[in-house]
Amino acid sequence: MRMIHSIQEYKEWRNNVSSVAFVPTMGNLHEGHLALVQRAKAEADNVVVSIFVNRLQFGQGEDFDKYPRTLEQDAAKLRDAGVAVLFAPDERELYPNVTQQYHVEPPNLQNELCGVFRPNHFRGVATVVTKLFNIIQADVACFGKKDYQQLTIIQGMVRDLNMPIRIVPVDTGRAADGLALSSRNQYLSEAERTQAPELYQQLKWVVAQLQSGNQHYTALENSVKSTLSSNGWVVDYVEIRESGSLNVARVGDKHLVVLAAARLGNTRLIDNLECHL
C-alpha cells in the first residue's frame, strides 16, 4: 500500500492505473469501514481510501479537536485489507486558502433529521466529498447506509451535478448484538454499551409493525420516542420516510426507511432500517 499526502503525488499515481474505487473516511477505522473496503475491492482494480478529519462538517461544540486521529493503526488495517492507496492530506493541502470560500449547498433535506441538530453539517460533507471526488477521479465510491441521510444527499449531488462517478450503497455493519458499528461507540460506558442495542431493537419493532400493515406512522414514531425516553435516552428524532427521496412517508409508499438519532449519556447514536412492503 502506498500512503500519499499530496494532491500532486496522487494525480501522478492516478494517471498510471486503471479503475479506482474510493472509500472516503475520517479515520479511526472499524470493521464497518473495512466492509466498505471489501465491497470496493469487488468494484474496481484499485481501492483508494482517504483519511481526512473535515473541519467543515463539525458544528459548534462538536468534537473536531477531540476526534481520534489514529493514522498509523488505520494504515496497518488498510494495508492488511489490500488497499492500493491511502490518501491522507493535511488540512492545508486540502484547504490551501484556510477558509473555504465556495461551498456545495445541498437542498432543504440538509436541514431535516440530523440537520436540525447539526446546522451546516451536510454542506460541509457535500463540499469535502466534491473536493475529494475531483482529486481522486474514481469510477465508483462506496458509502455506508448507516449514514442514510448523508448517502441520500451524496446520491442526489452526483445525479444533479452530473458527476462521473457511481455511488454504491453498502449495508450497515453491526456488532453481534445489533448495534450499528460507529467510531462513536468507543465513547459509551460499559453500562451504556449494554443498553445501546435497544435503538436497533426499536427500529426492528417499527419495521415489523409496518410489514404487518400498520400505517399509523406518527403513532409508531411516538411509541419509540416514549420507550427510549423512559429508558434514559434523549431522543433527537424517530421518523418514517420514503427511502428513495427521504420525503416524509405517505400511506401507500412501498419503500420506507425508519431513521432515529438519540443520545445515551454523552454519546449520540444514529441508526436506520429499510422496509420494503
Binding-site residues for beta-alanine, in ranges, read 57
Cell 445541498 sits on residue: 106
* Longest CA pairwise span in the chain (Å): 58
Q: Which residues are annotated as a binding site for (R)-pantoate?
A: 57, 150
- Within 8 A by CB and 6+ apart from 84, the residues are 1, 2, 17, 20, 46, 47, 48
**DSSP for residue 180:** B
Q: Could you tell me which residues come within 8 angstroms of residue 212 by beta carbon, excluding any fewer than 6 positions away?
A: none
Amino acid at 247: N
CA 146/CA 169 separation, integer angstroms:
10
CB 270 within 8 A of CB 181: no
Enumerate the known binding-site residues for ATP: 26-33, 144-147, 173, 181-184
Q: Is 103 a catalytic residue?
A: no
Q: Which of 5, 33, 216, 276 is catalytic?
A: 33
Q: Which residues are catalytic?
A: 33
